[in-house]
Structure 1
Amino acid sequence: MASIIEVDVEQPACTTRHAWARVPEEPSPSEREALKARIRTLLRERGAIMVSHYYVHPDLQDLAEETGGLVSDSLEMARFGRDHPARTLIVSGVRFMGETAKILSPDKTVLMPDLDATCSLDIGCPADDFAAFRAQHPDRTVVVYANTSAAVKAQADWVVTSSCALDIVRALRDQGHKILWAPDKHLGAYIERETGADMVLWRGSCVVHDEFKAFELEQLRRDHPGAKVLVHPESPAEVVAQADVVGSTSQILKAAAELDAEVFIVATDNGMLHKLRTLNPGKRFIEAPTAGNSATCKSCAHCPWMAMNSLRGVLEVLETGLNEIHVDPALIPRARQPIERMLAFTAACKRGEPAGALVPGIGAA
């Protein structure tokens, strides 16, 4: 049986105040192996492929890779699904990730272990409220984070991830664009500080990253003087300021592999620690603190909605075809365009080409 927990997702920019999440019951070791075996069989029989986010249960990360799928961030998951010949995608993550996969692969069937698995940044940025916010700033180029609904993406000029946001906003600034940013205020403020762009920020935040505490992080660093601090830029500025590396999930993975250190303090969802430890068996990874000394939980850095993904959920959708993601067909072309702009920009960067040439000047967008 799953239990229900309440989640505070207060966002000053809209009326959302709280939500809920289910906590799946962990299977026994024997049931876990039986579930995995049955899922492997059905993936083959159904011609399906799994894509999992770094923040979901280690079982789902491992199973995706073992069966030819992928563990990555949201846009890489969606791009992999688009390019893979499988006609059915099983997306272990949160709802906006399933929607993004459907936007890039509208002719494929996209299933999720639990359609109620959401994201505080997504639900804290309702499409109608965001449209009203945009109307207040008609002269600004709209840049939205991937952690948004299809309806919000359809209102954007650019969609970005945390790994490419700095480069894209810097290129827009160089072309004279003023930016309207949504939804994460911490990531937006970080980009604003680093690029000097003229930005107006939606005031959303991630329920996980928003809770990292600077004072307790200072104490933890004193306890581990040789440790390197890896921080996701959705964290508060006081936490980001203590980082040795600030970056996306993929950038954190790269830093952990390359930095000459034995101990790392990691300020992102603790689901990330599985991949970090798997790839770096000789190194130690410690969760950054999300609560003070009086708290009963010194670090509870895990998204409650990511935790809703489970082996039982994957098996159920493979057996029944339930929990299919649908996106309004009228939204798909409009939502795909800002994603494709981002993908073209990042592809040019990887090829060593001048990606800034892909950013139009004011009046040419």
Structure 2
Amino acid sequence: MTASYQVGTRPESIEAICVPAHPQQDVLSGEARRAQLQQAQDQLARRGAVLVAHYYTDPLMQELAEISGGFIGDSLEMARFGAETEASTVVVAGVRFMGETAKILSPNKTVLMPTLAAECSLDLGCPPDEFAALRARHPDRTVVVYANTSAAVKAQADWVVTSSIAVDLVAHLHAQGEKILWAPDQHLGRYVADQTGADMLLWDGACVVHEEFKAQGIERMKAVYPEAAVLVHPESPKPVLALADRVGSTTQLLKATQDMPQQQFIVATDRGIFYKMQQANPHKTFIEAPTAGNGATCRSCAHCPWMAMNQLDALMQSLQGDQQEIRVDPELRERALVPLRRMLDFAAARK
């Protein structure tokens, strides 16, 4: 019988750790857009830098990554690319834990971010000292942490996972009779427990974007678009997962839009992914799943406020110095590298 528990101390309110979204970049004319992208591309080249952008960043940032020889992907793919690139400088357009991961895997490279203020609610909601106290109370459990954590939390883990490999990894550990201590996303953890039957002790954390998707909103959207398939990221609450035609990581959902026959998709994840979904399926329609429920105040509107801080002007400023450089203590890096390497080796063995 699976035992699934919820532990940890969440912030008193999500608003306490959520920052306002960066103002949306003004719509540029085609000529102005090309000029701005060219300027940023030239600056990357002068610095000998490669841009690695997450699917949730601004479309302009993703386009720059494409035309400059960089990379767009989820956190696992970003980690792989950052470690394998020959560039001496890696610019990570995403949130802080992604920059830390790049630095842990590539200590001899300079790792920059457009802004170090780009945080993650899951990371902020799992303080290293509180997590250490929980670990000490459950020494019999294998510690598995989501990539959306600080280097200090990763350094305490046996394994690091991303949403794309979480089910497979926990199934592997469960088959060996191991009990799991999981942090920090409770919704992803509960989904993994349901899929694998593993005994999982869950930290009480959530993503400010995915927790806002509500089943009633998606049901109403389905009534308007009855032929649409529902795509849901597993960081979403369980009632939302129950409505999904496909549950998966950002990369898995992108692939689903190409594999599935439907021409319309209701997408319950950060709307930044629409750039690649539309690019891969120009004749299909993608609909943003509603957030915050009936009468509630939308805090993220299906877009991470910290991801929104990755703007071209901030990127170009970061390339001019080292004010936005990611640094990780060498001893902490060595400890965090162990579970990260295990993740990459496990993922590579599944290919």
Q: Same fold per TM (> 0.5)?
A: yes
Deviates more, 1:293-302 or 1:136-145: 293-302
Q: Which residue of 2 aligns with 1:147?
A: 148
Residue deviations 1:140-186, cap 9 Å, x none? Answer: 00000000000000000000010100000001000010000000000
Q: Answer with 319-328 or 126-135: which moved more.
A: 319-328
Partner of 2:25: 26
1:13 equivalenced with 2:30 (yes/no): no
Cα drift, residue 21 of structure 1: 4.2
* Aligned amino acid, residue 28 of structure 2: P
Superposition deviation, residue 92 in structure 1: 0.4
Provide the aligned length of Structure 1 versus Structure 2.
340
The answer as to whether partners of 2:21 and 2:304 remain within 8 angstroms in 1 is no
SS in 2 for 1:271: helix
- Name the residue aligned to 2:67: 66
Q: Any conservation in 1 of the 2:268–2:289 contact (CA below 8 Å)? A: yes
Q: TM-score, normalised by structure 1?
A: 0.90
The residue identity in structure 2 corresponding to 1:69 is G
Instruction: Point out the more displaced range, 182-191 or 284-293.
Output: 284-293
Q: Distance in 2 between matches of 1:296 and 1:323?
A: 33
Cα gap change, 1:16/1:110 in structure 2, threshold over 3 Å: closer, same or farther? farther
Alignment of 1:87-236 (within 5 A): 87-236=88-237
Give the direction of change, closer, same or farther, for the CA distance of 1:284–1:299 in structure 2 (3 Å limit).
farther
CA contact (8 A) 2:89 2:110 kept: yes
**Inter-CA distance 201–298: structure 2 relative to 1 (3 Å threshold):** closer
- Structure 1 counterpart SS, 2:319: helix
Q: Does the alignment pair 1:291 with 2:287? A: no
Are 2:240 and 1:239 equivalent residues in the alignment?
Answer: yes
Q: Which moved more, 1:314-323 or 1:100-109?
A: 314-323
Deviations 1:288-342 (A, max 9, x none): 1113343576981010000011000111011223200001111111111111111
Q: Which amino acid aligns with 1:263?
A: Q
The answer to whether residue 80 in structure 2 is matched with residue 84 in structure 1 is: no
Give the conservation status (yes or no) of the 8 Å contact 1:146–1:160: yes
CA contact (8 A) 1:39 1:318 kept: no
Q: How much has 1:46 moved relative to structure 2?
A: 1.3
Superposition TM-score, scaled by structure 2 size: 0.93
Measure, in 1, the Cα distance between the counterparts of 2:38 and 2:279. Answer: 22
Q: Classify the secondary structure of the residue corresponding to 2:201.
A: strand
Shift of 1:29: 2.0
Identify the range of structure 1 (287-296 vs 218-227) with the bigger mean alpha-carbon deviation: 287-296
Q: Which has the higher contact order (CA 8 A, sep 6+)?
A: 2
**Partners in 1 of 2:301 and 2:328 — Cα distance?**
33
1:256 aligns with 2:252: no
Residue 142 of structure 2 contacts residue 158 of structure 2 at CA under 8 Å; is this kept in 1?
Answer: yes
Partner of 1:5: none
Q: What is the identity, as a one-letter code, of the residue corresponding to 1:176? A: G
Give the Cα separation in 2 of the matches to 1:208 and 1:143: 22
> Helix, strand or coil for the counterpart of 2:331?
coil
In 2 relative to 1, CA 129–187 (structure 1 residues): closer, same or farther, beyond 3 Å?
A: same
- Give the corresponding residue for 1:325: 326
Q: What amino acid sits opposite 2:84 in the alignment?
A: D
Backbone CA RMSD of aligned residues: 1.7
Give identity over the alignment, percent. 59
1:265 aligns with 2:269: no
Equivalent pair of 1:16/1:124 in contact (CA under 8 Å): no
* 1:21–1:117 contact (8 Å) kept in structure 2: no
CA distance in 1 between partners of 2:349 and 2:122 (Å): 29
* Paired residue type of 1:121: L
* Cα deviation, residue 347, structure 1: 0.8
Measured against aligned partners, the alpha-carbon deviations of 1:250-303 in whole angstroms (never above 9, x if no partner) come to: 100111001001000100011111111111001000011113343576981010
CA apart distance, 1:105 = 0.4
Decide whether the 8 Å contact of 2:209 with 2:300 is kept in 1: no
How far apart, CA to CA, are the structure 2 residues paired with 1:281 and 1:251?
A: 18
Amino acid in structure 2 at the alignment position of 1:290:
T
Distance 1:80 1:219, change over 3 A: same
Letter in structure 1 aligned against 2:121: S
Partners of 1:141 and 1:178 within 8 A in 2:
yes
